[in-house]
Structure 1
Amino acid sequence: MAANPSSSGLEASLSSVEQLLDDVSAALLAGEPLVLQAASTSLRQAMMDMARLVPAATGLKSLDENMRKRLAKISLTLTQQRESLIRRAVVVDRTLLTVLPQAQSLATYSGGAKASAYRGGAARIYAAVAT
């Protein structure tokens, strides 16, 4: 059975996406943000190109079993990478909070030295001198 041009294009596109998924995984493991960004951008473009090759009328049903399995594996890998990125973002946020703690935001009419002086019943002139 000869492959039609659209299936050979889809085959090439699937191979490209699989390679780019490997590149993104390697960049995640290496912790290289610029490499990860470049690989992710390339992967996004390759995924859009691949989506154009799948026939809209018949969708995945028109693909052979091997291609459907490969697409399922791609989907699983993307999910795992997304979860890894979320975990990495949490670690980075926590690290940043340790290194650069956030300033506590006080409400407009609460907190501060003057507010506590007024709450104690001191007159304004005494509260102003206290701060």
Structure 2
Amino acid sequence: MTAPSSPAFLEHALHAVELQLQELSAALLAADPLALQTCSERMRQVSVDFIAALEGLQVATVTQGLEQRIQQIHSTLSVQRDSLARLAALAERQAAVLLPPPVHPTPTYGVALGVQASTASAARIYSAAG
């Protein structure tokens, strides 16, 4: 096994990040929440391993090729982050269509029991304190 501060360890850690990034991209395109969660957890772990590999190295050890690969990972992760934000917004819109928010907030039990609750007053537990 190579030492955590060796260039070979860095290369191995970078390769693991690249492979996991491909799996994460595929899971994102498949829109499978369980696969996406699993891939995200693995991505987090290989990222931590990669950072650990970088911490022990001198700056001069990082070659131009490694730097370009790291920049490619950075840009891919940025695109995926934006895609996840769009996917979350789409999911919120779809949920709003299925479960529209109430126009006027009503008490959960008051209307069903025939009790007319006033919207201006707070519950007794809160109004007694102040």
Between the two structures, name the one with larger relative contact order (CA 8 Å, sep ≥ 6). 2
Please report how far the alpha carbon of residue 98 of structure 1 lies from its aligned counterpart in structure 2 after TM superposition: 0.1
Shift of 1:56: 5.5
By how many angstroms is 1:62 displaced?
Answer: 3.3
8 Å CA contact 2:7, 2:61 repeated in 1: no
* TM superposition score normalised by structure 1: 0.73
For 2:22 and 2:9, locate their aligned partners in 1 and report how far apart those are by CA, in whole Å.
20
Deviation of 1:101 (Å): 1.1
Residues 1:91 and 2:90 are matched in the alignment: yes
Q: Distance in 2 between matches of 1:8 and 1:57?
A: 11
Runs of 4+ in 1 over 6 A off after TM superposition: none
Establish whether residue 79 from structure 1 lines up as the match of residue 78 from structure 2. Answer: yes
Deviation sequence 1:44-68 (CA, Å, 0-9, x none): 1100110011136744x53011100
Q: Give the Cα separation in 2 of the matches to 1:72 and 1:90.
A: 27
Q: What is the number of residues matched between the two proteins? A: 106
- Kindly report the root-mean-square deviation, in angstroms, between the aligned alpha carbons of the 2 structures: 2.3
Rounded to whole Å, the distance in 2 between the matches of 1:88 and 1:7 is: 38
Query: Which structure is higher in helix share?
Result: 1
TM-score (norm 2): 0.73
Aligned-residue identity in percent = 34
